[in-house]
């Protein structure tokens, strides 16, 4: 059932008055599923959520077995990490868009999940990767024969520099260089090299000369200003032997060639230097360029492909953006989406939408509108209620996200989380509502009925707990903010348990498995030992936290319940209430004649304020210490309270 319909039922049933939810009645207390009026999505890493068959990997049945947990948490939708057949554990290198990854389950398992979730008023959103595929049968076929039916699916060129200059690379949408990504030589012949080589970089002439060497190999120069980026070794610092001349002799073992970098802190334009499509000849100066910056290879075939991300994920090619829907790749991908939408999927999360046409917002929005219309038509033909939900990942700040609303109904709001952590870090709450309203103002010119997908951290970012110094009170405040802000909140697996984790240690550490019981097994098979055992102790488990009235999990449940039963919180218009205290955020949310006052203390010292114009008698939900006396509200450190008006 759609939340809009639930909302009308709630109002019709006289439930427009918010139900006080603290203290919560018993650890297992749940709201009847048909009374969830909010749009709360829970983001699941399928491979590390719950393992149903004991093979160590999370799977689809594991989710089905935990629907009660997700229902009690107040979820009305689940965004699943990619579940299609793929090469990696994370799933973002899809090999077959129409089949389920056997490690995660079967189509029957997926259908069962959709149906059982539906009984609890929970929608299923699939992660759809449109920017690139994995290197599967399509790629093999496309790159081995010019008559392959998949030849047009990828961005291929025998001379990338010339093709880009002539505007023949549709993927660039008219830009002269990509916002991100590289050209890679298609395997065939010796692309890489193994042996001892001397490198001589002439920075003035922007050439590099590579020769065989019998000299002793040198170690990387730790004080270098120019580096080789080579093989799996990564950065090797060069020595400046005379002005503008950089040299080193090393043992090379690379299966793709190498690049030259003038910065290690950035991959921005102008810091990465490669070739223009040709191979290097030993002993002959090789001209570097930073616009194409293709891998410098040692031979091999003459055809190149473009990849925004890793070489293992070639970009898909949809032709000129204005008629992308006519491309073979679009039609094939859309047919796969049709299959899942007809099965009962109610939403798609689109990965990396900025890179489909290399950061060209208008081109990307045009493409996305075509994709949305196609998928929504299938949804409506299925008899789906309202419109299909679709949210895009444009991983950038609000002003640059906004134009994508020309193409999609919903986009993630990364700035929201960046603002939450910045303001908590600075104990600055009294411009929070203004900032959130400013975000929303940016979207309005592009789509009046935009759905602002607000979030804290996700599977690509340092954990909320990490950025908040593992402070439980701060993590609770962040969760309370998320669930009292306008928009459509997304809760990332583990945030409700107070997980931490740092991306620089490896992506696995920000995708840790759920800890269901104090002593039980976790779905860690995908991670090759990259598990923070110290974090995943007994007390962070769901079992322990359900028993602890003070736990972050209980806080999430209470605030989600408030949002689900209080239309003003879930659907209300936000209005800033002036706060003269730096740390104190105040705003109202109003809907259908109902108003609530929301108060959060962003600081670690108590705050007090007189609020003569507001009623402080009926608490909808609260977190931390608070009290009311003679019209004055006192909030303890990092505390929150919501009052019905």
Helix (H) or strand (E) holding 432: helix 432-443
Full strand arrangement of the beta sheet holding 272-273: 234-237, 227-230, 258-261, 272-273
Rounded to a whole number of angstroms, the minimum distance from the CB of residue 78 to Mg ion is 17
CB 411 within 8 A of CB 392: yes
Task: Find, among 496, 463, 500, 462, the residue nearest to 479 by Cα.
Answer: 496
Least distance in Å: CB of 536 to Mg ion? 18
Closest CA to 581 of 431, 421, 478, 468: 431
> Quick one: 444 or 521, whose CB is closer to Mg ion?
521
- Shortest Cβ distance from residue 44 to Mg ion (Å)? 14
- Residue 61 or 474 with smaller CB distance to Mg ion: 61
CB of 527 to Mg ion, least distance (A): 14
Query: Which residue's CB is nearer to Mg ion, number 104 or number 451?
Result: 104
Containing H/E element for 564? helix 552-565
Spatial distance between the Cα atoms of 333 and 565, rounded to a whole number of angstroms: 39
Restricted to residues 53-112, the positions that interact with Mg ion (CB under 5 A) are 53, 55, 57, 59
42 sits near Mg ion (criterion: CB under 5 A):
no
Query: Based on CB atoms, which residue is closest to Mg ion, 55 or 251?
Result: 55
Q: Which residue is nearest to Mg ion (CB)?
A: 59
Total interface residues for Mg ion by CB under 5 A: 5
Q: Which is nearer to Mg ion, 54 or 283 (CB)?
A: 54
**Torsional class of 592: left (φ above 0), alpha (ψ -120 to 50), beta (otherwise):** left
- Residue corresponding to tokens 């002959």: 284
* Residues 117-120: contacts with CB under 8 Å, at least 24 apart: 117/64, 117/67, 117/78, 118/344, 119/33, 120/33, 120/67, 120/70, 120/71
Q: Which is nearer to Mg ion, 56 or 606 (CB)?
A: 56
Cβ-contact 599, 607 below 8 angstroms: no
Q: What is the DSSP letter of 538?
A: G
For the beta carbon of residue 167, count every other beta carbon within 10 angstroms: 12
* Bridge partners, 601 (sequence order): 584
What are residue 451's DSSP bridge partners? Answer: 410
CA distance 285 to 299: 15
Taking the complex as a whole, the smallest distance from the CB of residue 522 to Mg ion amounts, in Å, to 12
For residue 111, the minimal CB distance to Mg ion (Å) is: 18
Q: In terms of CB distance, is 51 or 295 closer to Mg ion? A: 51
- Residues with a catalytic annotation lie at 351, 393
Can you tell me the distance from the alpha carbon of 384 to that of 315, in angstroms, rounded to the nearest whole number? 31
| Per-residue DSSP letter, 644 | E
What is the H or E stretch that residue 474 is in?
helix 472-482
Q: From the CB of 51, what's the least distance to Mg ion, in Å?
A: 4
Applying the rule CB under 5 A, the residues between 43 and 62 that interact with Mg ion are 51, 53, 55, 57, 59
Q: Name the residue nearer to Mg ion (CB basis): 57 or 490.
A: 57
The interface mask with Mg ion, positions 450-489, x = CB under 5 A, is ----------------------------------------
Handedness of CA 129, 135, 137, 143 (dihedral sign): positive
**Residue 116 structure tokens:** 């059982």
What's 539-563 look like in SS3? Answer: HHCHHHHHHCCCCHHHHHHHHHHHH
- Looking at the Cβ atoms of 103 and 226, the one nearer to Mg ion is 103
Q: How far is the CB of 112 from Mg ion (least distance, A)?
A: 15
User: In the complex, what is the shortest distance from the CB of residue 547 to Mg ion, in angstroms, rounded to a whole number?
Assistant: 27
Judged by the rule CB under 5 A, the positions of this chain that interact with Mg ion are 51, 53, 55, 57, 59
């Amino acid at each position: 059932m759609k939340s809009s319909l639930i909302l009308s039922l709630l109002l019709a049933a006289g439930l427009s008055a918010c139900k006080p939810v603290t203290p919560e009645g018993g650890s297992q207390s749940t709201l009847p599923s048909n009374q969830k009026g909010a749009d709360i999505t829970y983001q699941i890493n399928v491979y590390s959520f719950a393992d149903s068959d004991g093979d160590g990997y999370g799977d689809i049945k594991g989710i089905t077995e935990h629907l009660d947990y997700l229902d009690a948490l107040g979820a009305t939708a689940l965004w699943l990490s990619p579940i299609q057949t793929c090469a990696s554990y994370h799933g973002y290198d899809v090999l077959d868009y129409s089949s389920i990854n056997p490690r995660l389950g079967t189509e029957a398992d997926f259908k069962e999940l959709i149906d059982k979730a539906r009984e609890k008023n929970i929608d299923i959103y699939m992660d759809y990767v449109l920017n690139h595929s994995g290197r599967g049968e399509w790629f093999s076929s496309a790159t081995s024969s010019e008559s392959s039916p998949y030849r047009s699916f990828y961005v291929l060129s025998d001379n990338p520099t010339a093709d880009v200059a002539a505007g023949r690379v549709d993927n660039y949408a008219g830009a002269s260089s990509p916002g991100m990504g590289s050209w890679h030589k298609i395997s065939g012949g010796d692309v890489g090299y193994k042996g001892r080589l001397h490198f001589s970089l002439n920075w003035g002439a922007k050439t590099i000369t590579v020769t065989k060497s019998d000299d002793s190999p040198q170690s990387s120069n730790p004080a270098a200003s120019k580096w080789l980026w080579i093989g799996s070794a990564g950065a090797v610092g060069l020595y400046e032997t005379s002005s503008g001349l950089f040299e080193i002799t090393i043992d090379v073992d690379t299966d793709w060639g190498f690049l030259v970098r003038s910065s290690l802190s950035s991959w921005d334009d102008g810091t990465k230097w490669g070739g223009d499509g040709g191979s290097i000849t030993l002993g002959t100066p090789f001209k570097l360029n930073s616009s194409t910056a293709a891998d410098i290879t040692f031979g091999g075939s003459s055809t190149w492909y473009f990849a925004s991300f890793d070489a293992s994920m070639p970009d898909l090619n949809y032709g000129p953006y204005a008629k992308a829907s006519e491309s073979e790749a679009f039609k094939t991908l859309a047919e796969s989406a049709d299959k899942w939408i007809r099965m009962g999927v109610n939403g798609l999360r689109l990965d990396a939408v900025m890179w489909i046409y290399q950061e060209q917002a208008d081109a990307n929005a045009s493409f996305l509108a075509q994709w949305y219309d196609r998928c929504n038509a299938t949804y409506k033909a299925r008899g789906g209620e309202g419109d299909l939900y679709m949210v895009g990942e444009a991983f950038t700040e609000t002003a640059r996200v906004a134009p994508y609303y020309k193409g999609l109904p919903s986009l993630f709001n990364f700035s929201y989380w960046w603002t939450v952590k910045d303001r908590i870090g600075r104990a600055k709450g009294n411009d929070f509502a203004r900032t959130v309203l400013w975000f929303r103002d940016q979207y309005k010119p592009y789509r009046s009925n935009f759905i602002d997908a607000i979030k804290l951290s996700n599977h690509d970012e340092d954990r909320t707990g990490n950025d908040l110094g593992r402070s439980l009170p701060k993590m609770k405040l962040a969760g309370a903010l998320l669930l009292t802000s306008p928009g459509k909140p997304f809760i990332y697996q583990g945030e409700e348990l107070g997980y931490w984790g740092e991306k620089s240690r490896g992506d696995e550490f920000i995708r840790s498995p759920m800890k269901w019981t104090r002593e039980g097994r976790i779905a860690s098979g995908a991670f090759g030992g990259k598990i923070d055992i110290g974090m995943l102790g007994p007390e962070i488990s769901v079992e322990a936290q359900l028993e602890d009235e003070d736990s972050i999990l209980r806080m999430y449940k209470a605030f989600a319940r408030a949002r689900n039963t209080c239309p003003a919180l879930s659907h209300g218009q936000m209005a800033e209430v002036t706060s003269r205290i730096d740390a104190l955020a105040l705003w109202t949310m109003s809907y259908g004649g109902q108003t609530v006052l929301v108060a959060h203390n962003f600081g670690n010292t108590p705050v007090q304020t007189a609020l003569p114009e507001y009623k402080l008698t009926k608490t909808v939900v609260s977190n931390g210490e608070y009290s009311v006396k003679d019209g004055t509200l006192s909030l303890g450190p990092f505390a929150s309270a919501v009052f019905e008006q």
